[in-house]
Amino acid sequence: MNWLAHAFLSENHIDFQIGNILADPLKAKTWENASSQMISGMKTHVQIDSFTDSHEIVKLSKKRLREKGLLKPVIIDLTYDYLLTKNWDLYSKVSIQEFTNNFYIKANKSLDYLPSKAHTIVTNLINKDLLNKYHTLEQLNSSFKRMDLRLSERLLKRETASGYFYDVHINIEDLEKDFLEFFPLLCEDVRKDLDNKKLNHWKI
């Protein structure tokens, strides 16, 4: 799952959401004086990744693209964020625009107490509106192209993220079926360790 899903799969607290998002780039390591909510958010991120990476439905989604490929996991992460955006109203009590706007407003207020690297990541997330980049297949393809800009020359000689777009496009109906079956299972697994009173944005 990518950033939008991690923000959604959080208790309704900005530190929890930011921790859930930052766990990947910060390798799930918090900093001195990080809030308990920030720490819990990072722990939830690890739980989400573990459940997702080991699940048979997600493995099936990866196989739909091609047999081998180093980038398949991240391609599925981004594609699932597109499918979450597309099916947002099935899972959320608030619109995606309201959800992301509220996140950005609260995240902007949190910048003062974030350390340098975390500050840079969250600022970039806000300024580039990165939670709202998956509304169309064209936007999904653009996210693949942006990923290519960050890949090493060595990896680019083997495969590109944008090279997966055709595979995603021709398999999108089956990938959506996978997602619609998988996401409620992921929510159920995450819910076990969260305060349900703080999941008031969840519909399921």
Mean of the per-residue pLDDT values for the chain? 96
Cα-only R_g, the chain: 17
59 is written with which tokens? Answer: 């493995």
For the cut 90, the answer to whether the pLDDT of residue 29 exceeds it is no
Residue-wise pLDDT for 36-82, tens only, equals 999 999 999 999 999 999 999 999 999 999 988 999 999 999 999 99
Supply the range of the domain harboring residue 77. 3-198
Pick the more confident residue, 161 or 25. Answer: 161
The pLDDT assigned to 30 comes to: 86
150 lies in some domain: yes
For the cut 90, the answer to whether the pLDDT of residue 163 exceeds it is yes
35 lies in some domain: yes
Question: What one-character DSSP code corresponds to residue 34?
Answer: -
203 lies in some domain: no
The pLDDT assigned to 204 comes to: 85
Q: How far apart are CA 54 and CA 57, in angstroms?
A: 9
Beta-bridge mates of residue 87 = none
Total domains present in the chain: 1
The pLDDT assigned to 32 comes to: 85
Q: How far is CA 125 from CA 110, 130, 133, 164, 185, in A?
A: 13, 5, 11, 24, 27
51 is written with which tokens? Answer: 């459940």
Residue-wise pLDDT for 84-101, tens only, equals 999 999 999 999 999 999
Q: How far apart are CA 199 and CA 180, in angstroms?
A: 20
Q: How many CA atoms lie within 13 A of 104 on its CB side?
A: 16
**Residues, the chain:** 204
53 lies in some domain: yes
Share of the chain above pLDDT 70, in %: 100
Q: How far apart are CA 204 and CA 25, in angstroms?
A: 29
Q: What is the pTM of this model?
A: 0.95
The pLDDT assigned to 1 comes to: 85
* Residue in 134, 138, 140 with CA at minimum distance from that of residue 85: 134
